[in-house]
C-alpha cells in the first residue's frame, strides 16, 4: 500500500471519478493501442476513465523527469507490447505508475498550468484499437478451482470426482499462445473429431458443445534463469499483473481426445484476453487470505508453502459472466448475467501456481501468461462455464427472450467482467473480455 491507493484521490479526467468506473486514478492499468483506422504503430498506454494516456506522448511532453526510474520504465515501452516494461521488475513499473498517478490527479501542477496538455496526452478509448497487451511466448492454463474440478469430476466420475493428485499439486496444461486474441475478436466455431457414447466411430464436424471458461490471467514480469526455480517467497515478485481470460472449449471434442494426454484441439482454436493489465501493485488493497483448506486435506509441500502467501496470497476479485444472443441484441435486450464468482475461493494461489511452474527449472519469461482455470464457487450461480451451469446440457439455461442454452450457439456474445471493491478502498475494475461466436467454416 502506498500513496497511489488513497481512496480520496480524484482525477482531472472526470470520467475516472464515476463511482463505478473500472479505471480510476487508483488503478492505471497498462495496455497497447493505436488510433482506430490509422497507420500508427501500436504503442503502450494507460487507462484512465474512458481515456488512454499515451506513454510515448508523456515522454515527449517531458513530464516523466530526466534520468528517473519512471522515465526508464517509459522508455522500455517503446515496443508495441508490454514485455520490456514487464522485464524491468516491479520497482520500475511502480515508479512509472506513481509518476502517472501524480500527473493525472486533480490539481496536478502540469494540468493546472496548461489544461491543453490533456489533448496531447490522452486518446478516447472509443477512438482506439486495442491489442493483446504482451507478446506471449508461452501460455499455461491451470485447474486451480476445487469447485470447478469437483463439479466436472462429478459428471464423469460421480463416485470419485477429484483425482488423487488434485490437492497435492497444481494441475495445468500448456496452451496455444498463437491463437490468443484480444477482446472483441470474433471466435469461429471449431471443427474436430466427435464421438458420442452410442456412436460406433468418430465423425469430423463442428462442435455442438461450444463453451466459455471464465478465468483470471497472470502475466509474468521478471523471468527466471533456465534451471533455476523460483522460491514461493519470491514468486509474487515475478507476477506483473492480471487480466481476464476466456478459455473457449469444445466440450465434445475434449471428451473424445483428452485421454491420455489432456486438452489439445478442444482448446487451441482461440483464447480471448482482456486488453488491460492491472498491476499487482494496484491490487494491493484487495489482497485476501488464501482459501482455507478443509480439515483432513493434505498440507502443501514445503516448496508450495509460505506463511505470507497464506495470509495475503488471495485476491478479492469478483467475476461476472454475461451472455447476449443475437436475438437479444437485435431486440435491444441487455446482456444477461449468468454467473458471479469470487477469486477468493481458489484452491491454489497465484504464487503457488508460479512457484510450481518453475519448480523443475522451467524458465518463465516476461509476458508469459498463466491462467487460473475456470473460476467457480460453491453456489450454483457461481459456476464459471456452461458445462457446470447446465450440468453438461441436462439443465438448460433460459435467457430473457425465452431462448434456452445448453451450450453456445452461433451469434452468442460472451462478456467477462471483473472488479475489486471493499470498504475503505476505491473500486477498480479489469474491464471486459468479450467474444462473439461465428459459424464454422
Overall average pLDDT of the 207-231 stretch: 98
Q: Residue 369: name the closest of 174, 195, 117 by CA.
A: 174
| Residue range 240-267: mean pLDDT, rounded | 95
CA distances from 329 to 126, 187, 320, 335, 385 (A): 20, 17, 19, 8, 21
**Rounded mean pLDDT of 176-203?**
96
pLDDT of residue 317: 98
CB 195 within 8 A of CB 206: no
Whether 197 shows a pLDDT value over 90: the answer reads: no
What global pTM score does this model have? 0.97
pLDDT at 159: 86
**pLDDT for 220:** 98
Residue 156 has pLDDT above 90, yes or no: no
pLDDT tens digit sequence for 260-275: 888 999 999 999 999 9
Strands 287-288 and 278-279, how do they pair?
Answer: unpaired
Pairwise CA distance, residues 67 & 133, whole Å: 26
| Mean per-residue pLDDT, 334-356 | 98
Write down the H helix ranges in 281-422. Answer: 307-312, 326-330, 350-358, 386-389
pLDDT value, residue 268:
97
User: Looking at the DSSP assignment, which residues form a beta bridge with residue 130?
Assistant: 33
pLDDT given for residue 295 in this prediction: 94
Kind plus residue range of the DSSP H or E element containing 237:
none
What span, in angstroms and rounded, lies between the C-alpha atoms of 102 and 64? 10
Instruction: Please state the rounded mean pLDDT for residues 53-60.
Output: 97
- Check pLDDT > 90 for residue 256: yes
The residues carrying an active-site annotation are: 148
What's the rounded mean pLDDT across residues 310-320?
98
277 within 8 A of 241, measured Cβ to Cβ: yes
Q: Is the pLDDT of residue 160 over 90?
A: no
Tens of pLDDT, residue by residue over 93-108, are 999 999 999 999 999 9
How confident is the model over 272-291, as pLDDT tens digits? Answer: 999 999 999 999 999 999 99
Q: What does the pLDDT read at residue 137?
A: 97
pLDDT band at residue 87, thresholds of 50, 70 and 90?
Answer: very high
Predicted confidence (pLDDT) per residue in 391-435, tens digit? 999 999 999 999 999 999 999 999 999 999 999 999 999 999 999
pLDDT of residue 64 exceeding 90: yes
DSSP for 306-326?
-HHHHHH-EE--EEEEEEE-H
Percent residues over pLDDT 90 in the chain: 96
Amino acid at each position: 500500500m502506498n500513496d497511489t491507493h488513497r481512496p480520496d484521490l480524484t482525477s482531472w479526467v472526470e470520467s475516472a471519478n464515476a463511482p463505478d468506473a473500472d479505471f480510476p486514478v487508483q488503478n492505471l492499468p497498462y495496455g497497447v493501442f493505436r488510433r482506430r483506422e490509422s497507420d500508427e504503430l501500436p504503442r503502450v498506454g494507460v487507462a484512465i476513465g474512458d481515456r488512454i494516456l499515451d506513454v510515448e506522448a508523456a515522454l515527449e511532453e517531458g513530464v516523466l523527469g530526466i534520468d528517473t526510474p519512471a522515465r526508464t520504465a517509459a522508455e522500455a515501452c517503446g515496443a508495441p507490447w508490454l514485455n520490456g516494461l514487464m522485464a524491468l521488475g516491479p520497482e520500475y513499473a511502480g515508479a512509472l505508475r506513481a509518476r502517472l498517478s501524480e500527473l493525472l490527479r486533480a490539481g496536478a501542477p502540469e494540468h493546472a498550468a496548461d489544461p491543453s496538455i490533456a489533448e496531447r496526452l490522452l486518446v478516447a478509448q472509443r477512438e482506439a484499437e486495442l491489442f493483446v497487451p504482451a507478446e506471449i511466448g508461452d501460455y499455461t492454463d491451470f485447474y486451480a478451482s476445487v469447485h470447478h474440478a469437483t463439479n466436472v469430476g462429478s459428471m464423469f466420475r460421480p463416485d470419485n470426482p477429484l483425482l488423487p493428485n488434485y490437492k497435492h499439486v497444481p494441475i495445468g496444461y500448456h496452451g496455444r499462445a498463437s491463437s490468443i486474441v484480444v477482446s472483441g475478436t470474433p471466435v469461429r466455431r471449431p471443427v474436430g473429431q466427435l464421438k458420442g457414447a452410442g456412436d460406433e466411430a468418430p465423425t469430423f464436424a463442428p462442435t455442438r458443445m461450444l463453451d466459455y471458461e471464465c478465468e483470471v490471467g497472470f502475466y509474468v514480469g521478471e523471468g527466471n534463469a533456465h534451471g533455476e526455480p523460483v522460491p514461493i517467497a519470491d514468486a509474487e515478485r515475478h507476477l506483473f499483473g492480471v487480466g481476464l481470460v476466456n478459455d473457449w472449449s469444445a466440450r465434445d471434442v475434449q471428451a473424445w481426445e483428452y485421454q491420455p494426454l489432456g486438452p489439445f484441439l478442444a482448446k487451441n482454436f482461440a483464447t480471448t484476453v482482456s486488453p488491460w493489465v492491472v498491476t499487482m501493485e494496484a491490487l494491493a488493497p484487495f489482497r485476501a487470505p488464501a482459501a482455507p483448506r478443509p480439515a483432513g486435506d493434505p498440507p502443501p509441500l514445503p516448496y508450495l508453502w509460505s506463511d505470507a502467501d497464506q495470509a495475503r496470497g488471495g485476491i478479492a476479485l469478483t467475476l461476472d459472466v454475461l451472455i447476449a444472443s443475437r436475438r437479444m441484441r437485435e431486440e435491444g435486450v441487455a446482456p444477461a448475467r449468468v454467473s458471479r464468482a469470487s477469486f477468493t475461493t481458489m484452491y491454489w494461489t497465484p504464487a503457488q501456481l508460479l512457484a510450481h511452474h518453475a519448480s523443475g527449472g522451467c524458465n518463465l519469461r516476461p509476458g508469459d501468461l498463466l491462467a487460473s482455470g475456470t473460476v467457480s464457487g460453491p453456489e450454483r450461480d457461481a459456476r464459471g462455464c456452461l458445462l457446470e451451469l447446465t450440468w453438461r446440457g441436462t439443465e438448460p439455461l433460459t435467457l430473457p427472450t425465452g431462448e434456452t442454452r445448453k451450450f453456445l450457439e452461433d451469434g452468442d456474445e460472451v462478456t467477462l467482467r471483473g472488479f475489486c471493491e471493499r470498504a475503505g478502498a476505491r473500486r477498480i475494475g479489469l474491464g471486459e473480455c468479450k467474444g462473439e461466436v461465428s459459424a464454422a467454416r
